[in-house]
Structure 1
């Protein structure tokens, strides 16, 4: 499932965390919420980045998408 499909299914606090901490290691609780709506990332999932010792990272594509979405929400809301 692509980020465009699961993003609206996340609760607002999770979406806000992802926008505020875009590019950071995704904490287990946030990752649990993502996988609850999107399923565990397949090897070719466009939103799945690397797993590093610190935890899970979103892909560069997903980070860019979230940044664009955050900018659109800021424009619409302000």
Structure 2
């Protein structure tokens, strides 16, 4: 069978959000792969959450709309 990967259940999506939120506070430094393929560094402006029961997303500073959590990578915090 080819084509789209199987959809994640609501519980799996929520678990992905919970895992991200447990490790990263709002304001965490991240990189995101934009629709254009460009990778941009920014910070989170919300906690990760399930959007309309189908996608784990997060909102980012300076970027319009939310992005699929799969396209977001947390950056290591700079040491003081």
- TM-score greater than 0.5 by the shorter chain: no
Return the structure number with greater strand share.
2
Q: TM class by shorter-chain length?
A: under 0.3
Higher alpha-carbon Rg? 2
Return the structure number with greater helix share.
1
